[in-house]
Amino acid sequence: MSPIAETESTVTRFAPSPTGLLHLGHAYSALFAQRIATEAGGRFLLRIEDIDAGRCKPEFDAAIQEDLAWLGLAWEEPVRRQSEHMADYRAALDRLAAESLLYPCFCTRKEILTEIERAGGAPQGPEGPLYPGTCRTLTAEERRTRIATGEAYALRLDAAEAGRRAGPLSWDEIGRGPQVCDPLRHGDVVLARKDVATSYHLAVTTDDALQGVTLVTRGEDLFEATHVHRLLQALLGLPAPRYRHHRLLTDESGRRFAKRDQSLTLRALREAGHAPSDILPMIGLDA
């Protein structure tokens, strides 16, 4: 499977967001990461990705840990909770800002759509049309004035400039070999949201480095996000972990498991009388 055998220096992690109960897809992802680490004699970490205070709930944080323990997983303490580490994300933003790689973006979603329409379209990114760069060309004076009047703003990466500074990049995708990183894949991505002083991309990249993660395992749906993560690692002088994006589990009708599938949460299965050992065949893993 891997040209580079895992060793006792391998560190993997499972990084759920506490926005709901864990379902079978999460069980697969958690066991995938934990087994690689355990089989290699390495370390397995749990990280709670709770930057989105509006959507994350402490009761889901507790439920995640309870359900993973029920499943038989063990992880190193302490659990890293992103909401407790905002200063780390701030430091990363400061570094990028000091290198003039960030700019404030005042646009609302509606303004972005209107601008894309006016321009007759925009290049497509993995999550829809790319940001048209409206605020990239504001003058320093305009930025200052709008910030001073209390207008809300996000911080975006100047992706073209970031790509130039970083130079050619790739990441090692186990089973698929080196993947060429495209710094423009997500356009001028948001690194600090208007409502949260960081973003998924910035927090994940910072944390994987600070926690010494050597192998990032996660679902195939996050493969594209790795373009941003690899770029940020280069800009922030962080080590590049290896990656292994795994398949996504689907139900009988071929739909991905999602938080809406209440009957397939670990909690519901447990309450219906299933034992942890019943879960493995459900997700196609051996005991």
Give the angle 213-65-85 at the CA atoms, nearest 5°: 50
Nearer to ligand GLU by Cβ, of 195 and 221: the residue is 221
Please check whether residue 155 is in contact with residue 105, taking contact to mean a CB–CB distance below 8 angstroms: yes
The torsion region of residue 107 among left (phi > 0), alpha (psi -120 to 50) and beta comes to: beta
Q: Does 10 bind ligand GLU (CB under 6 A)?
A: no
Nearer to ligand GLU by Cβ, of 113 and 222: the residue is 222
Close Cβ partners of 6 (under 8 Å, ≥ 6 residues apart): 36, 37, 39, 40, 42, 215
Q: List binders of ligand GLU among 247-286 (CB under 6 A).
A: none
Please check whether residue 31 is in contact with residue 72, taking contact to mean a CB–CB distance below 8 angstroms: no
What's the closest the beta carbon of residue 52 comes to ligand GLU, in angstroms? 10
State whether residue 86 is helix, strand or coil: helix
What's the closest the beta carbon of residue 16 comes to ligand GLU, in angstroms? 5
State the number of binding residues for ligand GLU (CB under 6 A). Answer: 7
Nearer to ligand GLU by Cβ, of 49 and 67: the residue is 49
Please check whether residue 174 is in contact with residue 121, taking contact to mean a CB–CB distance below 8 angstroms: no
What's the closest the beta carbon of residue 49 comes to ligand GLU, in angstroms? 4
Choices 15-23, 88-96, 109-117, 173-181; region in contact with ligand GLU by CB under 6 A: 15-23
- Cβ burial of 260 (10 Å; 0-12, 13-18, 19+) is exposed
Question: What is the residue type of 37?
Answer: A
Choices 11-19, 52-60, 109-117, 254-262; region in contact with ligand GLU by CB under 6 A: 11-19
- Which one among 185, 201, 218, 227 touches ligand GLU, defined by CB under 6 A? 218
Q: List binders of ligand GLU among 20-79 (CB under 6 A).
A: 49
| String of DSSP letters for 134-148 | GGGG--HHHHHHHHH
Question: Is 194 assigned a catalytic role?
Answer: no
What's the closest the beta carbon of residue 124 comes to ligand GLU, in angstroms? 22
- Which one among 222, 236, 280, 283 touches ligand GLU, defined by CB under 6 A? 222
Please check whether residue 13 is in contact with residue 45, taking contact to mean a CB–CB distance below 8 angstroms: yes
- Which one among 6, 16, 132, 172 touches ligand GLU, defined by CB under 6 A? 16
Where along the sequence are the contacts to ligand GLU (CB under 6 A)?
A: 15-17, 49, 204, 218, 222
Active site residues: 259
